[in-house]
Amino acid sequence: MMRNILALVLNDLAVALKNKTFYLVLFIPFFVFMTLKLIDQASVEVSQIKIGFIEDYVYAPQLLNNVKAAEKNLAVTWVESEKEGVHLLKEKTLDGVLLGNKKDPERTTLLVLKRESLQTLAIIEVFSALQNAVEGNPSSWISDIETLHAGGVQRQTLPTWVLMVVLLVGFLVLPAQVAEEKEKKLLLGLLQTPISEVQWLIAKVIMGMVLAMIATLIFHLLGGFAVADYFGYIIFIAAGSFCFSAYGIFLGFLCSNQASARTLGVIFYLPHLLPSALSDFSQQLTAVAPFLPSYQFYEPLKSVLLEDGRIASMPFEMIYLWLVGAFTFYLAYVLMKRRWLM
Amino acid sequence: MQIEIHNLTKLYDQNRGLSPISLTIQKGELIAIVGHNGAGKSTLLKMLANWIIPDNGQVTIDGIDLRNRRAVVRKVGFVPEVPNLFDFFSVEYNLKLFASLFQAPLLRVEEVLTEFNLLPFRNNKIQALSKGLKQRVNIGRALLADPPVVLCDEPTSGLDFEMTNELYRLLNTLHDAGKTILFTSHRPEEIKSLATRILVLHKGNLVFDGPPQEYFQSAVHEKLYAL
């Protein structure tokens, strides 16, 4: 069995090299890397800022009065604890949380998701403007900025690029390759040998996982991005690429030719990519995205890459991805057994 | 080696396909399946090759149920009408891949390359070969596991006169080596001197089953192929 799977995997990788799929996998990380070099700066307007205050902390009365007076620019939410503030911050219900300073109530620490974000910039601008309006206040209200997400823009966008490349292999590369093998009757030719359907499917999934992992590895090598929990991270990337590779193979079985597979792939690719990747920028998307498997892949990725989170603390997402992968693998097996559109 | 076909059926839309068909094929027969386009010739062969799942019926090949695909593929080699090979790769690569999946020794690849006069083309990519050469590789691939039964779907389709004769010589050689061969053709005149038995399918029904001499004098031939 292993020998057959190995022969099929090597053949699939050789085909991927021949039909230029490999070039795509190599090109995208280089393209992204070069793009990131160019997009470190941006300027966008931010309207009303949602800022959180912790009920337990003591804030300077002057600060509170001025914030209240600036309700046009600042929407204030009082939260019970710092933990709740962090939760709302992650949900994008808040743009920042002001943590009181026990030694000096006149000064506070601003907690934000990312230091280099429009929201952070806007908060600092608004508070500076308020402070300037108050005469005789020599010290800065915000003495420090703490972030939940580590790293610069390059690192902060890394989860999006990893998500993109895993979905690309799953929804664009694999459906087209499966459909091509069906269209050219190569799959039927392979089934004229004693290999089993499961062996063929495993080989395809492994190929998808290898491609996705190579692309992810290139991201890390080029950017020099380290990860706190390497083992967990690799297992998680394996789970995600397994899920979306099996999903893509299933989509390939729904199509009789490459053209329809590519179309179907894009139809699945964008709705999985955009809501998850853009959930950082929208509260509404954050509410909708959890229904997608891609979000269950993306959120832990962000946690590991940006917050030094541990995959071991996210068993639900891990199990969810393996289950979705196993389910779509089974559906692909059923269609293959029925020689669907072959 | 005996093939038992009992009530084998496959129906597509608009009643196309193959109505229930039953027959027995003995070892060493060289059977031509003739009929017009859409008569069900390819459907029959593809069902025997496990390419198409039958709606009904039972087939045993040397006592093995057709549904036991992994065992049957060692008994049956199928040559489809359009060669289904990995175009990007060489003749040798294709044969080695399939030999590996059959767990056949690599020496078998050399034998096939020699038997089918493919040695000069072993490093040529499939996409660069002529249709006749592709068909030779296709047949060679089907014979890698040395199956006792060979199924050829329209093996001469698209081939010129010379290539067609060469292919028929090849089928004769395989027949002389004791293999049971079934092939389809919609040009019965061509297989007059080749087949030992002729099956005629018409609109999915088996309308004739007998020796060539009998067929060419029958009303079926007259009716189906009269100019």
Beta-carbon separation of A185 and B74 below 8 A: no
Predicted local confidence at residue A136, as pLDDT: 61
Q: Is a pLDDT exceeding 60 seen at residue A46?
A: no
Query: In terms of C-beta density within 10 A (0-12 exposed, 13-18 middle, 19 or more buried), how is residue A42 classed?
Result: exposed
Decide if the complex's ipTM is over 0.90: yes
Predicted local confidence at residue A281, as pLDDT: 67
- The answer to whether B91 contacts chain A (CB < 8 Å) is no
Beta-carbon separation of A11 and B97 below 8 A: yes
Q: Measured between beta carbons, which residues in chain B are less than 8 angstroms from residue A341?
A: none
Domain boundaries, chain A: 2-38+152-337, 49-147
Beta-carbon separation of B84 and A339 below 8 A: no
Closest residue of chain B to A1, computed from CA coordinates: B101
| Average pLDDT rounded to a whole number, residues A21-27 | 73
- The answer to whether A102 contacts chain B (CB < 8 Å) is no
Predicted local confidence at residue A278, as pLDDT: 75
Q: Which two tokens stand for residue A290?
A: 């959890």
CATH architecture type of domain A49-147 = 3-Layer(aba) Sandwich (3.40)
Label each residue of chain A as H, E or C: CHHHHHHHHHHHHHHHHHCCHHHHHHHHHHHHHHHHHHCCCCCCCCCCEEEEEECCCCCCHHHHHHHHHCCCCEEEEEECCHHHHHHHHHCCCCCEEEEECCCCCCCEEEEECCCCCHHHHHHHHHHHHHHHHCCCCCCCCEEEEEECCCCCHHHHHHHHHHHHHHHHHHHHHHHHHHHHHHHCCHHHHHCCCCCCHHHHHHHHHHHHHHHHHHHHHHHHHHHCCCCCCHHHHHHHHHHHHHHHHHHHHHHHHCCCCHHHHHHHHHHHHHHHHHHHHHHHHCHHHHHHHHHCHHHHHHHHHHHHHHCCCCHHHCHHHHHHHHHHHHHHHHHHHHHHHCCCCC
Domains parsed from chain B with CATH numbers: 1-75+149-227 (3.40.50.300), 83-146 (no CATH)
- The answer to whether A15 contacts chain B (CB < 8 Å) is yes
Question: For the segment A224-242, what is each residue's pLDDT rounded down to a tens digit?
Answer: 888 888 899 999 999 999 9
Option in A15, A188, A192 nearest B86 (CB): A15
Q: Measured between beta carbons, which residues in chain B are less than 8 angstroms from residue A11?
A: 86, 97
Predicted local confidence at residue B227, as pLDDT: 52
Q: Measured between beta carbons, which residues in chain B are less than 8 angstroms from residue A4?
A: 101
Q: Is a pLDDT exceeding 90 seen at residue B90?
A: yes
Lowest mean pLDDT among A161-165, B63-67, B221-225: B221-225
Query: Distances in Å between the alpha carbon of A279 and those of A149, A282, A290, B94, B221?
Result: 15, 5, 10, 47, 71
In chain A, what percentage of residues exceed pLDDT 70? 90
Predicted local confidence at residue A194, as pLDDT: 96
Higher-confidence residue: A102 or A293? A293
Predicted local confidence at residue A87, as pLDDT: 85
Please, are residues B12 and B200 in contact by the beta-carbon 8 Å criterion?
no
